[in-house]
Structure 1
Amino acid sequence: MLKKVFATLLIILIISGIGFYYYLSKTYPTTSPALTGMYYLESITRPHAKLDKHVLGFLPYWRLDDIQHIRPNLLSEINYFSLTVGNDGKLAKVVNGETDPGWRAWESEKVENLMTRARIMGTDVTFTVAALDNQLIIDVLDSDTAQDNLIADIVAEVKDKDLQGINIDFEYFGEPDAYYQEAFTAFSQKLRTAIDKEAPTTALSLSIMPLSARENDLFDFPKLVPIYDRFIGMSYEYYGAGSDISGPVAPMKGFKEGKYFFDVETTYEDYLQVIPKAKLIMGVPYYGWERSVQDAKTANSLTYPADDEKNYAAVISYARSRESTDIKKNQCTWDELAQETWCWFKDQKTGSDRQAWIADNRSVETRFAYAQSQNLGGVALWTLGYDKQYLDLWELILKKFTDQ
């Protein structure tokens, strides 16, 4: 009797296993059933956190080496950065005879597997469409054909890969002619209409620069707010590789005090004049910059032009700042206005005095707390992978954006 029961159960398990294997093969055809099964197991052992804010993580195509450290269960959305707009408006696949690196990575097995893992764990998968050159933006906005090409390609990617959202990143530097502000609004409305028709559950977001709400740039916010579901504030890179002084990548304060040319709090004060809180997502950097300076022991020292091997400028990620033997606690200071840490040291290879402004636990927690205190819609992490295997920043997400 027991043998018959055991045999029956075994047959049921085998049939169920075959059925589950078939389901995985059909539902996630680009990922092996073995991997997909592992992701299902992970979704059980690491259930998706109940986040009280939208937590978006940007994944640039050049950061795929650390993809295994990503915790999709602690993210609302993983945004792939980026697919580039070509001169004809189509998403660029080949540039100067070579496959565009963003497109190559987008079609890679690594990204396909991460998308599967994210979906199984309940995390949205989205992508950024980037136009980061003034002339390219003008050419696209001048051409109905280019806009139609771009919208068609965006819709095709959303439907082909079953994506949950699109982020538009058109970074125009300077003041465009008023016509182009109107043209961008018209393009945005055409995109919204097409998305609502072809993939109506797809979210649409727009990346905006720190001065976008203050200066007369490409964005007419009163007209754009009804079109876009979210606005992602790129509240970082206030100081960087080309700055005359070594400064914080995202100073929280200091503009009104005359110390920094602009700051994060003023950025969001400006944004909130034209964007509802619930639609506003705060960019949070997981990196800083390291520069050669004239006086390493003085904060905000003048920098040397980053034009040779001795005076190079370098991104210093959260992980690298923890692992670097140059970064010593007794040579680091917390800047109260910027709410960032800066450190000084001497480059052992070049002999140059160096200063680094870094993202650490304290600076990241300060920015998470600000987003909560202002009741913003959430945060956007730039970027996933910068923290590598360290769990601290994931634990901060749990601390600040869940009840755990």
Structure 2
Amino acid sequence: MRSQSREKYLELIREYLKVKPDFIVNKDNIKKDLITIGATEEEIETVYNEFSPFYKIKFLKNIFTIKFLIIFLVSMLFLAEIVFYYQWVDKKMNSSGKNIVIEKIKTVFKKEETAIPKIYATGVKIDVEKTFSSPSKNTTLPIKGTPKKEVFGFFPYWMLEKSDYVNTDAITTLALFALETDAKGNIITNYADGKQDGGWNMWNSKKLDIFIKDLKKKTIKVVLTIKAFNNNNIEKLVLSDEAQKNFISNALFLIKTKSLDGINLDFEYIGTPNPKVRDEFSRFITNLYIKMKQEEPNSTLTIDTYIHSAAALRLFDLGVLQSQSDGFVIMGYDFHTPSGSAGPVAPFEGELSITTLMGPYLDKVSKDKLILALPFYGYDWPVSGGESSRSLSYAEIMGMVNNNNVSWDSMSQTPFLKYESGGIERILYFENIKSLGIKYDYVNKKDIKGIGIWALGYDGLNNDLEQLIIEKFGK
């Protein structure tokens, strides 16, 4: 029996073929398009057998006659004329509106882009004390080794005080999250209210220097994340040569100061910029990349992108940026957030899912530059209004659940928990070793560069997620 998510793919394939009158003679190209957005060959063949007039032949093989054959051939010639006509019309229309699946993706995200920010997790702290006070599963690590793929872990500044307890044995790169740039390319140290920036506070901590030293001993690369979450600041920065030069100078100075291995850019632009902003952003990245390679040849530059960035052209011109960077860290999470309705944080399958939205990436970008970042956290919503939603770390969630009360969403391939607290019915969507294992298998199957983690330390005193990484990617 097919899952509901796979039935959805069959429906999308049917819709696609309905507007493709040349689906018989152009099967190879259409098949390639459908596989790109997540359909399987078996599903494509199933629908083709439903649509194609040729499939009926096998039911009629016992009644073929010369008369029937002549009628059939005449019919095929007539059909060929129709196909030729529709190909001509399709060419005239420049194939406008034909790609149903991609258009659906764009439509859904266009509706949501002004309602909620695409990424919620990077701006919200979890409860660090609860995370490291939650009981662990006391899982041992029977499998030792180092990952054969890139394991890129974000280390948010609010985890610094617990850095001694953070699991880092299964990662290859740690990104210090984060310092923030303003519109002039300067690093923000204090805000208007006089409060010091959390990332800047971490940067100047002696504890960070000790932490970096320990990571280097483990041959773990350490990079600095520089973020910009304000559209206005991003536009002013990339449109000003002076601001670009200032940013590049500051970025290089920072990584040299602590002997870091590179820069990770987290520019979370919301919506669609005008073409000039997009082009200038690409030029900005090119200038930064060239300067980094000149002054620090072994340094790396990675760019954080939205999971839908390859399906809809916005700030990131992936075709240009892939040759001017060392890779993309794709934020494969926050499909649903506390700012909106309840649902899976990182659905693997479904109409809008990791599988669907990774397809355009695989079609446009070299797979050795793709890092799929996944969540070590969950979101908890009240079923009815009146109560607040919240973010919970993996460790906190494991302290709440057991094998008896966790449900499984077959559509998204993720777990969820329904429970009652203080008389309020709530629902919690999260990731566990089963759902993450499915995604890790996908990474191996597609042979992309590796995985990312938001965020290191969110597993608290547990080490089952670390063990899973070694099992899936260990040498």
Q: In the alignment, is the contact (CA less than 8 A) between 1:241 and 1:313 conserved in 2?
A: yes
CA distance in 1, matches of 2:443, 2:164: 27
216, 220, 228: which one aligns with 1:123: 220
Give the AA of the match of 1:292. Answer: P
424, 445, 449: which one aligns with 1:373: 445
Aligned runs of 1:3-402 on 2, under 5 Å?
Answer: 49-96=145-192, 97-244=194-341, 246-255=342-351, 262-294=352-384, 304=385, 311-324=387-400, 327-348=401-422, 351-402=423-474
Measure how far apart 1:110 and its partner are. 2.4
Give the AA of the match of 2:356. Answer: T
Aligned to 2:57: none
Q: In the alignment, is the contact (CA less than 8 A) between 1:233 and 1:282 conserved in 2?
A: yes
Larger radius of gyration: 2
Give the AA of the match of 1:318. Answer: Y
Taking a change above 3 Å as real, the CA distance of residues 95 and 183 of structure 1, as seen in their structure-2 partners, is same
Q: In the alignment, is the contact (CA less than 8 A) between 1:334 and 1:341 conserved in 2?
A: yes
| Residue-by-residue CA offset, 1:50-96 (whole Å, 9 max, x unaligned) | 32100111101122243223333321111111110123211111222
Give the AA of the match of 1:211. Answer: H
- Using the size of structure 1 for normalisation, the TM-score is 0.79
Give the AA of the match of 1:317. Answer: S
Q: In the alignment, is the contact (CA less than 8 A) between 2:248 and 2:288 conserved in 1?
A: yes
CA distance in 1, matches of 2:369, 2:402: 40
Q: In the alignment, is the contact (CA less than 8 A) between 2:381 and 2:388 conserved in 1?
A: yes
Measure how far apart 1:106 and its partner are. 1.8
Measure how far apart 1:328 and its partner are. 4.8
CA distance in 2, matches of 1:176, 1:338: 31
CA distance in 2, matches of 1:66, 1:396: 22
| Residue-by-residue CA offset, 1:130-188 (whole Å, 9 max, x unaligned) | 01111111111121111111111100011111111111111111110000110001101
Tell me the secondary structure at the aligned position of residue 89 of structure 1.
Answer: coil
Measure how far apart 1:252 and its partner are. 0.4
Give the AA of the match of 1:176. Answer: P
Tell me the secondary structure at the aligned position of residue 363 of structure 2.
Answer: coil
Aligned to 1:301: none
Report percent identity of matched pairs.
29
Measure how far apart 1:202 and its partner are. 0.3
Give the AA of the match of 1:366. Answer: I
Measure how far apart 1:329 and its partner are. 3.8
Q: In the alignment, is the contact (CA less than 8 A) between 1:85 and 1:129 conserved in 2?
A: yes
Measure how far apart 1:242 and its partner are. 1.4
Query: Any gaps of 5 or more consecutive residues in structure 1?
Result: 1-47, 256-261, 295-303, 305-309
Q: In the alignment, is the contact (CA less than 8 A) between 1:291 and 1:354 conserved in 2?
A: yes
Q: In the alignment, is the contact (CA less than 8 A) between 1:343 and 1:356 conserved in 2?
A: yes
CA distance in 2, matches of 1:113, 1:230: 28
Bigger share in helix: 2
Higher relative contact order (CA 8 A, sep 6+): 2
| Residue-by-residue CA offset, 1:250-302 (whole Å, 9 max, x unaligned) | 000111xxxxxx211112111112111111001111111000113xxxxxxxx
CA distance in 2, matches of 1:337, 1:379: 22
| Residue-by-residue CA offset, 1:197-216 (whole Å, 9 max, x unaligned) | 11111011010001111112
Q: In the alignment, is the contact (CA less than 8 A) between 2:146 and 2:470 conserved in 1?
A: no
- Using the size of structure 2 for normalisation, the TM-score is 0.68
CA RMSD of aligned residues (A): 1.6
Tell me the secondary structure at the aligned position of residue 392 of structure 2.
Answer: strand
CA distance in 1, matches of 2:413, 2:158: 28
Tell me the secondary structure at the aligned position of residue 212 of structure 1.
Answer: coil
Q: In the alignment, is the contact (CA less than 8 A) between 1:232 and 1:281 conserved in 2?
A: yes
Q: In the alignment, is the contact (CA less than 8 A) between 1:56 and 1:381 conserved in 2?
A: yes
